[in-house]
Amino acid sequence: MTVTVATDEYGKGGVRIVKVVSDGIGDQVMDLTVEVRLRGRFADAYTGGDNSMVLPTDTMRNTVYAMAPEHLGPDIETYAVTLARHFLASPAPVDEAEVSIVQRPWARVGDRPHAFRQVDTGRRTTTVVAGQDGVAVSAGALGLRVLRTTGSAFEGFLVDGLTTLEPARDRLLSTEISAQWRYTTNPADLGATWHDVVQRLVEVFCDHDSKSVQHTLYAMGEAVLAQHPEIDHIWMSLPNKHHVPFDVARFGIAGGESVYYPFEVPHGVIEATIAR
């Protein structure tokens, strides 16, 4: 029997780095987790144990730190592009270098320029893939918790012998938005564009007359593409974080329609890519 290495990639994940960047008014904390992945002609390392063309993952970690003083500024996309291009130009037989970054957000405390608190949700992300045909830049948001108490329905769904869910003309809707979008051309201000996309996502979630989570997801993606011609598609995940009304009437207590039992799992999984 003859077997072969059909696909392979390797890299370094979970590289934590913090850099303090001055913006002229005060400091900005860049708190990042970086992952590097290389794809190329590394089959000999698997089949014969030949490491002569394998760049150590330890070197990848060192590179993340070594390039930060000069190249890590307020935009994680620019830093990721620099790293990806560096690894693509490595002496290793790299056909494609991918760099993904998740940023933990910190906000200034009041008007203090040097004191911060960590923001709980809405981490900024980027994924850059550098290959022989060019560089593709994607940006995104991870774990943005949002909730609306009204204006969301779910009716007219398929019913079978095991369906117990009751139709809801108006319900509480909570989700944790994760999104990733790809630029066809990089905007002049990456940071401003990221903030504007996130604002559009949140505004549409809050204001849309929702017939389902799917219905609102589509409206959110449509709004982003209408506002930003430099984005060719946006992928979103909107898990339905269920809140079940808790029946306090059984205890002889009124007002139970405003009391909910929230639970994280199981939850509905709703994902889609909205493209031009």
Active site residue 57: yes
Which 8-state DSSP code applies to residue 238? -
Catalytic residue from among 33, 57, 59, 82: 57
Catalytic residue from among 86, 208, 241, 242: 242
Active site residue 242: yes
Residue count (the chain): 276
Catalytic residue from among 12, 86, 208, 241: 12
Instruction: Give bridge partners of residue 187 from the DSSP assignment.
Output: none
Half-sphere exposure of 178 (CA within 13 A, CB side): 11
Which whole-number Å values give the CA distances from 35 to 70, 133, 175, 264, in the listed order? 19, 22, 26, 28
DSSP, collapsed to helix, strand or coil, labels residue 136 as strand
| Residues contacting residue 93 through CB under 8 Å, at least 6 positions apart | 40, 41, 42, 53
- Which amino acid type is present at position 139? A
Which 8-state DSSP code applies to residue 187? -
Active site residue 164: no
DSSP, collapsed to helix, strand or coil, labels residue 166 as coil
Q: Which residues are identified as catalytic? A: 12, 57, 242
